Structure 1
Amino acid sequence: MSLVVKSLSAMQYFFSKFSAVIVGFWALCLMFQLPGEHSFLFWRHQITLLTGALALGYMAVCMLLAVRPGFLENFFQGLDRMYVQHKRFGIGALVAVILHWLAIKSVKVVFAFEWFARPERRGQRSSIEGINWHAVGNQLGEISMYLLIALVLVSLLQVINYKRFRWLHKISGVVFIIGAIHALLLMDQTFASIPLDAMLIVFTIIGSVCALISMSGRIGRSRQQPGQVSAIQSYGDTLKVTITPKTQSSKSPKAGQFYFVKFEDGEAAHPFTLSNFIQAKNEYEFSIKALGDYTAGLVKNLSVGAAVQIEGPYGRFQAPNEERQIWMGVGIGIAPFIAWLEANYRNEREMQKLKHSQIDLYYCPGTRDQAYFLERIEFLTKAFNNIQVHVLYSAQGQRVDAALLKKELAGEQYSLSYCGPNQRLKQLSKGLKENRILPEAIYSENFNLR
């Protein structure tokens, strides 16, 4: 499964821009309440407000990204970028919550060492119906902090399998709601703080709605289609699975997109690139390789007639427009390139667009016996005199590297489309940079479900 990622993107600055907006609202409120003299408690309170607002804002964005709204996929140009942002904001929320907690606890350290004089107590805080809501807010805040720390660490360290992680991740909705109640109960209810309070209320509404969608299992429901496995072709450790939904979707997929596929095996939905879509028969073809326990189980046990549910399409990994192109598919990563060829082979108009480019397609299976799709690739590329196919077997030490591309390109400008292990792309990019033959653009996936 692959998605389009440009080398340089304005989206990488989204986190910084969002943070700057929150800091701006906080600074606006601060301007109207600066004290006449230096006060530790005043600045401690302001830092508490700022870190709390950042934490709630980051968590609200995480909840919004988690429900996968279509307009955000368009904005970020791909679900992979949304997952990158989701991870970034999750880490940001963790850091902000810890700083928020440290700011609150700092008063004990400061007064214990007598760095500042302890002010006189103002008496008990007011209560409503006999309940001290300030104390309740503090307790809820501490609970949400511990839950958030556990959730983020489990996600980053990947200490549990994907199925359990998906179930555990639903707790994030509960964590957000607890944190939002904490924020509302302890808002700085002064005239000067109205802009910041209004922003917190907006974060609470957006995040809470998304949390309820997540906890009720409604994420992606409008894109889901029930169906069954109508055909299976086995190629050793790889399957070509044909799925026929019960109904025709109003949204046809584009070549290179992917679906979340949920088989009736008790496991969560997993993403698979669409290898081919036959609209006349309403058939979706997926190539599945045994790369882990889950996919190995599918390759071994999946049978024709099995119930299945697909959700999609997602992704922005379509054939680029540059005149000189390098396509590189490692192992099962060849799937989206086959989808590109299949779509262009059936569509004369699209075929003419592709024929304007000079393309080298590098297919990199492990061994000759694992080159399952070579015959189909050779058949499809016969219709294109501008596509040259290269097959490199990694088991024989054959790899696409900077030296090979430098010789092949001879100084030409080009784009690189890649699907395969991220580590391989990092190594290749490093070599291209060292040899000063970086492409105009790199199209690849940056996809991690955690």
Structure 2
Amino acid sequence: MSVADRSPAYPTRSLMPPARRLGPLSVGLVAVAFAVVWVVAGPPDGRWLSFAGQLAGAEAVLLMAIAMVLISLLPAVEVWFDGIDRAAIWHRRLSVTGLALLAPHVLFSSGEDGGGIGGLLAQVGVWGLLALAAWAIAPRWRTMLPWIGPHLARAADRVAAHPAMRRVLAAGRWIFGGYERWRALHRLTGLFLAAAFVHGLLDGTMFGSPVLRWTYLVAGGTGLAFYVYRETVARHLTALHDYQVAKVTPVGANLTEISLAPVGRPITFTPGQFAMLFLETGAGWRRHPFTISSAPRDRFLRFTIKALGDDTTRMQTLVRPGMPAVVGGPHGRFDRARGTDRQIWIAGGIGITPFLSWLRALDRHAAPGTVDLFYSTQGVPPFAGEITAIAEAHPTVRVHLHDTSAHGYLTPDAVLATLDEDPRRLSVFLCGPKAMVDGFVRRFRQAGVRSRDIHREHFDWR
């Protein structure tokens, strides 16, 4: 085998950093340490109720500042949180938590500049952040607010079904819909955070203490510095690769596979990673993050896309061969090399995408040991013929195709029943709908699979 044919080196499992928990744990420690410092310093004037409100506001600024760090596109952040997808999820969680802390801040704090420029900035910051949060939550409120209750969910469905409300919702989708429009306005988050931060400085009732002032300055200033970096510098440092659309292939009822030919140096990636895809379509440039479904040495770079949103449902009509494309990245740490020699791969629907990349790369990146792939779909699985042929050429890979329309949902117990090994020897890789993956994670943990050996791709954040 020549040097050019050698597979790129994969990191060994023992060398992978335990960042899956390190990132959230470090954020929690920073938030607690910040609160402890403030409580120890105490209010200079002894007004503890007002101080509690000020502390809530300062913690809100701190959490939203950390959220800015998590979407700064720095490679260190991806390592810190074990993937940019996990960092994006925690960005959302910290932002929502920060907004929730604004409630006690408004209720208990009493500023001296409430009617001046500080009060105006407070209104701009709070209402701007709340509007952006509502816009982000609205399309996925059922999954982000699972505690809302089935009765309210049914009531919301009845309201949405009313003809007048349907017209209102249609107008709302026209005004606010679309990934690009959402992304453009979401970038205002940093400006609203800046308004809230300056409000705190101007209305700093508790800032008779240098400790309180400087911790607040460092927290808010760091977040704003990362926001400025992302908006002015990061975009120029992102690796971009020029491509051209070679083929647009319908796959089943609602899947499209786009094949791109490189124009210049192609992207270098590890099977299982995702990239930001920029496409110049008949409706202008569009950008979305998609998992790469081809192998690294394939002639074409392939993305398998499910029709879910406005752009993806029109992919087959908007995208044509010959159109230019730009690919940024790669990102993600969903890597089978991080597992043990005995692996279980579980894919639900479009969740087969990273496993397609793994399967298509087996000729150059052999499986580390025995692998069982469980692929669950409704009806005939897309790519079933190709997947079966690859498995036949690689005896260490066994494929289990599961049709939910004939056999019901694939369950963790059904998977475990096919295995003879001790669950503590297994590594499990999952990609699919959140509810499905959550159920599998809980059951595998109960069966004895170690949490460090359960890996999931968080594609639902995109």
Shared fold per TM-score greater than 0.5 = yes
Cα distance, 1:10 vs structure 2: 4.1
Distance of 1:362 and 1:296 partners within structure 2: 27
Distance of 2:236 and 2:269 partners within structure 1: 15
Distance of 2:104 and 2:88 partners within structure 1: 24
Instruction: Choose the corresponding residue for 1:378, options 388, 391, 404.
Output: 388
Q: Report if aligned partners of 2:128, 2:192 keep a CA contact under 8 Å in 1.
A: yes
Q: Report if aligned partners of 1:263, 1:307 keep a CA contact under 8 Å in 2.
A: yes
SS in 1 for 2:238: helix
In the TM superposition, 1:91-102 aligns within 5 A as 91-102=96-107
Q: What RMSD in Å do the two structures reach over aligned CA positions?
A: 3.1
Report the CA distance shift for 1:279/1:415 in structure 2 as closer, same or farther (over 3 A). Answer: closer
Cα distance, 1:155 vs structure 2: 1.6
Q: Report if aligned partners of 1:7, 1:442 keep a CA contact under 8 Å in 2.
A: no
Q: Report if aligned partners of 2:434, 2:460 keep a CA contact under 8 Å in 1.
A: no
Q: Report if aligned partners of 2:121, 2:195 keep a CA contact under 8 Å in 1.
A: yes
Deviates more, 1:313-322 or 1:397-406: 397-406
Which residue matches 2:65? 60
| RCO higher in structure (CA 8 A, sep ≥6) | 1
Q: Report if aligned partners of 1:177, 1:211 keep a CA contact under 8 Å in 2.
A: no
Deviates more, 1:228-237 or 1:333-342: 228-237
In the TM superposition, 1:137-148 aligns within 5 A as 137-148=118-129
Which residue matches 2:429? 417
Gaps in structure 2 of 5+ consecutive residues: 1-15, 140-171
Which residue matches 2:291? 273
Which residue matches 1:185? 202
Cα distance, 1:182 vs structure 2: 1.5
Which residue matches 2:310? 293
Cα distance, 1:429 vs structure 2: 4.0
In the TM superposition, 1:120-139 aligns within 5 A as 135-139=116-120
Q: Does residue 365 of the first structure (1) align with residue 377 of the second (2)?
A: yes
Q: Report if aligned partners of 2:206, 2:212 keep a CA contact under 8 Å in 1.
A: no
Which residue matches 2:301? 284
Report the CA distance shift for 1:29/1:403 in structure 2 as closer, same or farther (over 3 A). Answer: closer
Distance of 1:133 and 1:328 partners within structure 2: 55
Q: Does residue 151 of the first structure (1) align with residue 132 of the second (2)?
A: yes
SS in 1 for 2:325: strand
Q: Provide Cα deviations, 1:42-62, integer angstroms capped at 9, x if missing partner.
A: 213422431222121112112
Distance of 1:15 and 1:278 partners within structure 2: 35
Cα distance, 1:227 vs structure 2: 2.6
Cα distance, 1:219 vs structure 2: 4.3
* Equivalent AA in structure 1 for residue 405 of structure 2: A
Which residue matches 1:175? 192
Distance of 2:192 and 2:33 partners within structure 1: 24
Q: Provide Cα deviations, 1:310-334, integer angstroms capped at 9, x if missing partner.
A: 2210100011432322111222211
Q: Report if aligned partners of 1:259, 1:272 keep a CA contact under 8 Å in 2.
A: yes
Cα distance, 1:27 vs structure 2: 2.6
In the TM superposition, 1:53-92 aligns within 5 A as 53-92=58-97
Q: Report if aligned partners of 1:60, 1:204 keep a CA contact under 8 Å in 2.
A: yes
Q: What TM-score, normalized by structure 2, do the two folds share?
A: 0.78
SS in 1 for 2:447: coil
**Bigger Rg, which one:** 1
Q: Provide Cα deviations, 1:217-248, integer angstroms capped at 9, x if missing partner.
A: 95475123333212333323322212234332
Q: Report if aligned partners of 2:19, 2:80 keep a CA contact under 8 Å in 1.
A: no
Cα distance, 1:338 vs structure 2: 1.8
Q: Report if aligned partners of 1:58, 1:92 keep a CA contact under 8 Å in 2.
A: yes
Distance of 1:34 and 1:175 partners within structure 2: 29
Distance of 1:399 and 1:44 partners within structure 2: 52
Cα distance, 1:34 vs structure 2: 6.3
Distance of 2:233 and 2:326 partners within structure 1: 14
Distance of 1:34 and 1:168 partners within structure 2: 40
Distance of 2:191 and 2:344 partners within structure 1: 46
Q: Report if aligned partners of 2:248, 2:316 keep a CA contact under 8 Å in 1.
A: no
Q: Does residue 235 of the first structure (1) align with residue 251 of the second (2)?
A: yes
Cα distance, 1:102 vs structure 2: 0.9
In the TM superposition, 1:261-410 aligns within 5 A as 261-264=277-280, 265-266=283-284, 268-279=286-297, 283-319=300-336, 320-346=338-364, 350-351=365-366, 354-355=367-368, 357-368=369-380, 371-410=381-420
Q: Report if aligned partners of 1:253, 1:313 keep a CA contact under 8 Å in 2.
A: yes
Q: Report if aligned partners of 1:242, 1:286 keep a CA contact under 8 Å in 2.
A: yes
Gaps in structure 1 of 5+ consecutive residues: 108-124, 126-131
Q: What TM-score, normalized by structure 1, do the two folds share?
A: 0.80
Distance of 1:65 and 1:431 partners within structure 2: 30
Q: Report if aligned partners of 1:67, 1:219 keep a CA contact under 8 Å in 2.
A: no
Report the CA distance shift for 1:338/1:186 in structure 2 as closer, same or farther (over 3 A). Answer: same
* Equivalent AA in structure 2 for residue 330 of structure 1: G
Cα distance, 1:408 vs structure 2: 0.9
SS in 2 for 1:51: helix
* Equivalent AA in structure 2 for residue 252 of structure 1: T
Distance of 2:202 and 2:460 partners within structure 1: 36
Q: Provide Cα deviations, 1:405-446, integer angstroms capped at 9, x if missing partner.
A: 23212462222211111122233345556xx42533321123
* Equivalent AA in structure 1 for residue 279 of structure 2: F
Cα distance, 1:292 vs structure 2: 3.8
Report the CA distance shift for 1:168/1:257 in structure 2 as closer, same or farther (over 3 A). Answer: same
Distance of 1:101 and 1:416 partners within structure 2: 46
Distance of 2:191 and 2:318 partners within structure 1: 36
Cα distance, 1:77 vs structure 2: 0.3
Report the CA distance shift for 1:52/1:94 in structure 2 as closer, same or farther (over 3 A). Answer: same
Distance of 1:146 and 1:422 partners within structure 2: 31
Cα distance, 1:381 vs structure 2: 2.5
Report the CA distance shift for 1:225/1:446 in structure 2 as closer, same or farther (over 3 A). Answer: same
* Equivalent AA in structure 2 for residue 66 of structure 1: I
Report the CA distance shift for 1:12/1:218 in structure 2 as closer, same or farther (over 3 A). Answer: closer
